[in-house]
């Protein structure tokens, strides 16, 4: 009953097999190999657009490098107050950009809206040169609360951002889950909707360590290349990241992996709602379920071996808030979650033995 994080799951057997295959013999280093060229070509086909790609091994590196290409040291990034770049990356975006400021704001379901962004821009930036200069907006797809931006929502944010001279960055650590939920073309919720740079994550979806900075403006290629090297994120045995991406994209394996995780989240949410022992707090649109349950039930679940985390209610619009005898929890499913895992959790929640 491990619902702690999709980071805790292992590696898809197909991706692991691809890694083993890539291990046969030598290959040119630092991304000058055939597997890297093939993976880059596949991503261009996937997005139906010329792209500059920088493969890295962590999401933090991807986000920090992407933002460092979009903002100057005296710049600012508008994001949600609970965005990963704001609260979970140890200041890496500020460090890699040379000091750019992150400006977070609350928003229902951990999502930004044009109205929220306008409010931030009216408070930050007008007094030149005393204020930092807003230069980018960052959205998280799927959000930190598992909600998904629609194409129209992203487009509205992008129109506003571009009209104000800002670039649009998308943290796509769970992009595959969001894309599966929306069932649209990858281009529809990225460059066609105005996104300038996407950090596309495969790690949470079933890879070992495979993230990609996707710049839809090819002029960013050189800046990405130099910044990745200078930051220490250009792997010498680069083919082992590329091999994961090839396997992830081939025959829509990404959709298989993300679709299963999403389906398990739906099963879990439906069971919690039907149990009468908790309430699902937000729409379940990817592979995360946020619920309010009785503290006594939470303790019983943990005693039975369930792994999950209590979660912050700050800035996400949770209403009503948990009572003194309740706890707000996050439950994350993955490609490796089984129906048995879900059903056992629900049985314990309902007061039955594990």
Domains of the chain by range and CATH?
13-251 (3.40.640.10), 254-349 (3.90.1150.10)
Q: Is the pLDDT of residue 277 over 60?
A: yes
Sheet bearing 197-201, strands edge to edge: 52-56, 211-215, 197-201, 167-172, 133-140, 75-80, 101-105
pTM of the model: 0.95
Average pLDDT over residues 2-28: 96
Contact call for residues 78 and 138 (beta carbons, < 8 A): yes
Round to whole Å and give the CA distance between 37 and 50. Answer: 13
Those residues with Cβ within 8 angstroms of residue 49's Cβ, 6 or more apart along the chain or in another chain? 187, 191, 216
Contact call for residues 129 and 160 (beta carbons, < 8 A): no
Round to whole Å and give the CA distance between 320 and 324. Answer: 12
Residue 105 backbone phi and psi in degrees, to 5: -140, 150
Q: Is the pLDDT of residue 353 over 70?
A: no
pLDDT of 162 reads: 98
Q: Name the CA radius of gyration of the chain, rounded.
A: 20
Residue 164 backbone phi and psi in degrees, to 5: -95, 5
Tally of residues, the chain: 354
The 8-class DSSP code of residue 74 comes to T
The 8-class DSSP code of residue 252 comes to G
pLDDT of 15 reads: 98
Q: What is the pLDDT of residues 134-188, one digit of tens each?
A: 999 999 999 999 999 999 999 999 999 999 999 999 999 999 999 999 999 999 9
Q: What is the pLDDT of residues 310-347, one digit of tens each?
A: 999 999 999 999 999 999 999 999 999 999 999 999 99
Q: What is the pLDDT of residues 86-139, one digit of tens each?
A: 999 999 999 999 999 999 999 999 999 999 999 999 998 777 888 899 999 999
What's the chain's average pLDDT? 96
Average pLDDT over residues 269-284: 96
Round to whole Å and give the CA distance between 182 and 291. Answer: 22
Q: Is the pLDDT of residue 352 over 90?
A: no
pLDDT of 218 reads: 85
Q: Is the pLDDT of residue 207 over 80?
A: yes
pLDDT of 304 reads: 95
The distance from CA 246 to its chain's CA centroid, rounded to whole angstroms, is: 20
pLDDT of 126 reads: 77
Cis peptide before 320 (omega within 30 of 0): yes
Average pLDDT over residues 235-253: 97
């Amino acid at each position: 009953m491990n619902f702690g994080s999709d980071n805790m799951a292992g590696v898809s057997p197909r991706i692991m097999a691809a890694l083993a295959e890539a291990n046969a013999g030598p290959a040119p280093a630092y991304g000058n190999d055939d597997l890297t060229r093939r993976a880059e070509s596949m991503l261009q086909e996937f997005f139906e657009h010329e792209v500059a790609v920088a493969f890295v091994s962590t999401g933090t590196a991807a986000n920090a490098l992407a933002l460092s290409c979009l903002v100057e040291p005296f710049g600012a990034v508008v994001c949600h107050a609970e965005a990963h770049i704001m609260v979970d990356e140890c200041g890496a975006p500020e460090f890699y950009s040379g000091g750019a400021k992150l400006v977070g704001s609350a928003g229902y379901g951990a999502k930004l809206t044009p109205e929220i962004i306008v409010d931030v821009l009216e408070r930050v930036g007008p007094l030149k040169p005393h204020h930092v200069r807003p230069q980018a907006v960052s959205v998280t797809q799927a959000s930190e609360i598992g909600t998904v931006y629609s194409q129209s929502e992203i487009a509205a944010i992008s129109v506003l951002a571009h009209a104000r001279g800002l670039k649009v960055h998308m943290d796509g650590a769970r992009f595959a889950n969001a894309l599966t939920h929306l069932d649209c073309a990858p281009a529809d919720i990225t460059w066609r909707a105005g996104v300038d740079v996407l950090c596309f994550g495969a790690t949470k979806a079933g890879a070992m360590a495979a993230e990609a900075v996707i710049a839809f403006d090819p002029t960013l290629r050189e800046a990405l290349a130099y910044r990745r090297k200078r930051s220490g994120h250009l792997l010498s045995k680069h083919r082992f990241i590329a091999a994961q991406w090839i396997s992830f994209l081939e025959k829509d394996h990404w959709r298989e992996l993300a679709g299963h995780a999403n389906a398990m989240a739906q099963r879990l949410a439906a069971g919690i709602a039907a149990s009468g022992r908790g309430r699902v707090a937000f729409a379940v649109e990817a592979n995360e379920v946020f619920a309010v349950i009785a503290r006594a039930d939470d303790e019983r679940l943990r005693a039975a071996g369930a792994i999950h985390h209590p979660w912050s209610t700050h800035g996400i619009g949770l209403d009503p808030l948990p009572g003194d005898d309740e706890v707000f929890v996050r439950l994350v499913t993955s490609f490796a979650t089984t129906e048995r895992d879900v059903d056992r959790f629900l049985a314990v929640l309902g007061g039955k033995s594990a």
